[in-house]
Chains A and B, each alone.
Chain A
Amino acid sequence: MTTQLWLVIAGGAAVTAAIKAAGPIAVGGRDLPRWAAGVIELMAPALLAALIVTAALADGDRITVGADTAGVAVAGIALARGASIVIGVALAVIVTAGLRALG
């Protein structure tokens, strides 16, 4: 393995550790102002929604509808109708794999 690849591993580890440490070091140990609690509470829906659509719809810099998009959509319908997480995820995998096998 080349020195360049070891550098990538070291660099990747360093930037990841720095990014994960930045918030806790900069903000930790003190009370955030009251308005911040409302913003923090809404971070989860904002970031989760973005993670879902980029995972299911983005391929590099293109927006594509693929078998996984259909699988995740079917899972979403099932989950919204009260299906358990396990059933929802299993449906996503089965639909995605099934469509790829057909296509």
Chain B
Amino acid sequence: MPSPQEPSPHEPPPRESFRAGIRAGIPFAIAGGLLSLSFGVLAREVGFSAIGAIIMSAIVFAGSAQFAIVSILAGGGSAGAAIAAAALMNSRFLPMGIALAPSLRGGWLTRAAQGQTVVDASWAMANRGGGRFDRHFLFGATVPQYVTWFSGTVIGALLGSSLPDPETLGLDAIYPAFFLALLLTELRDRRSCGVALAGAALALALVPFTPSGIPVLAASVAALAGLWRQRTAP
């Protein structure tokens, strides 16, 4: 088993991985760009200036957290409540970051910076199994998603309500459909199917009782089934 500090002989060259990541990220980038249009529009409606909405997408770059912030403020919530909601929505990046960590290199500051590139689709696509991730692929996959998330917000914030409602066009179905396609590639055996079912059931069971964001975080508990194999394997 290679040490995480040394490149595996089976790892593809970094530049090749990075380019493959960019290509893989483009479909998600298109979907994200369409959604960020509506974020730009909604942010203006709750009082953000165009430049404020654009800066938020540039430095927060987390769709579900940004929509949570806007919906809390639209409902008359405080700044603290909006920031707390963003933290809860992003809490799933904690287990994702722990899973990715052994595949990262460099000092703590470099690793922290590399961790900023984690978004759902990039993280899932960069998973190579056996607890390893292709970090260059992940970095590449995030690039087009960042570009379109930013530029979609610019268009939405500047053109505002003259744009059609993304929900009318059915665009809110894009992300779960994409994630479903990614999930199907992860279902390699009965155990991974069982974990997916358990994660989904756990998340749904918590929806009525916990703030948004917690159900997805709690679903990571289902991955503890991975302990079972190690204990029973010869």
Contacts and interface: CB of A to CB of B under 8 A. Distances in A.
Interface residues of B, number: 106
B180 A46 contact: no
A50 B231 CA distance: 26
B94 interface: yes
A16 B114 CA distance: 13
B104 interface: yes
B29 interface: no
Interface residues of A, number: 79
Contacts of A58: 204, 207, 212, 215
Contacts of B94: 19, 22-23
B74 interface: no
A89 B47 CA distance: 33
B9 interface: no
A36 B131 contact: yes
Contacts of A85: 27, 178, 181
Interface of A: 1-2, 4-9, 11-13, 15-17, 19-32, 34-58, 60-63, 67-68, 71-72, 75-76, 79-80, 85-86, 88-89, 91-98, 100-101
14 contacts: A12-B65, A20-B97, A20-B115, A21-B113, A27-B101, A37-B131, A40-B99, A45-B186, A45-B193, A54-B203, A68-B173, A89-B177, A93-B169, A93-B170
